[in-house]
Amino acid sequence: MSGHHTSTQPATIAEALQQLTGLNPLRCYQCGKCSAGCPMAEEMGGLPPHALIRLVQTDHRDKLLKSEAIWLCLTCETCSARCPNDVQPARLIDGLRELALSADPLAAPRPIRAFHEAFLEQVRSHGRMAELWMIFGYKLGSGDLFSDALAAPGMLTRGKLKLIPQNIAGVEEVRRIFEGVKELEQAQASKQAAPPEGGAADHG
């Protein structure tokens, strides 16, 4: 059961993650099974999943939230499925991404940020994702203009891309979801930023 929207200011990154996800990163005893099965571990610059969790335990906030590694997780859930102590590294890494974005909206590496922005902009604008337009949005945002991305011409001749995005009838409902989530998260962020009542020095 998660403890969403508690109003105490988290003193450590482990507490912040626990507030966000309801999971306790201190349960990890560093067996390394998550990293052994992680398809991206070798690209994570020395910070595969178990090392990320260790940095959470030792409260290395800046190193974590500025790392590229948290953005390389594919959410394939292999780590969470195999963890012997139900630490759920995949969910914790999603939480680290959320914390990184709330500290700095530009935290993700540019191409990855451009992909998420282009994807979500399609959904917010039309209710669905028109792949062709998502790719155009990605290319503009990433500056990655000349790569194949999804090779639109080959996709078009195979009838795989729709040219004209169409809005769903309930697109306003979808936009309200985006707005509502943003409002909730901003309220949450300002609560956490406000100095807690009394006892703050305890956390020094």
Partner 1 sequence: MKLGFYPGCSMHGTAREYSESLQAIAGPLGIELEEVRDWSCCGASSGHQTSHLLGVALAARNLSLAEEQGHERLLAPCAACYGRLAGARHELQQDAALAAQVGKLLTRPFANAVGVINAVELLRDIAPAIKEKASRPLQGLKVACYYGCLLVRPPEVAAYDDAEDPSSLETIVKATGAEPVRWHKRTECCGAGLSISRRPSVIRLGREILGDARQAGAQAVVVACPMCHSNLDFRQQAMARGGEPFAMPILYVTQLVGLALGVSAQELGIQRHFVDADPVLAQLAAPRSLPAPAQP
Q: Do the beta carbons of residue 40 and residue 72 sit within 8 Å?
A: yes
The interface mask with partner 1, positions 164-193, x = CB under 8 A, is: ----xxxx-xx-xxx-xx--xx--------
Least separation in angstroms between residue 204's CB and partner 1 is 30
Question: Could you tell me how many residues of this chain bind partner 1 (CB under 8 A)?
Answer: 68
What 3-state DSSP class applies to 75? coil
Upper half-sphere CA count for residue 159 (Cβ side, 13 Å): 0
In this chain, which of 18, 35, 67, 142 binds partner 1, going by CB under 8 A? 142
**Which structure tokens are listed for 12?**
């450590």
Considering only residues 72 to 91 of the shown chain, the ones binding partner 1 according to CB under 8 A are 72, 74-78, 80-81, 90
Residue 114 as a binder of partner 1 (CB under 8 A): the answer is: yes
Our CA angle for 11, 77, 150, nearest 5°, is: 110
| Total residue count of the chain as it appears in this document | 204
Alpha-carbon span 196 to 10, nearest angstrom: 10
* Distances 64 to 13, 166, 177 between C-alpha atoms, Å: 9, 40, 29
Q: Do the beta carbons of residue 19 and residue 6 sit within 8 Å?
A: yes
Considering only residues 11 to 50 of the shown chain, the ones binding partner 1 according to CB under 8 A are 20-22, 39-40, 43
Residue 137 as a binder of partner 1 (CB under 8 A): the answer is: no
The binding site for partner 1 (CB under 8 A) comprises 1-5, 20-22, 39-40, 43, 72, 74-78, 80-81, 90, 94-95, 97-98, 101, 111-112, 114-116, 119-120, 122-123, 127-132, 135, 138, 142, 147-151, 154-155, 158-162, 168-171, 173-174, 176-178, 180-181, 184-185
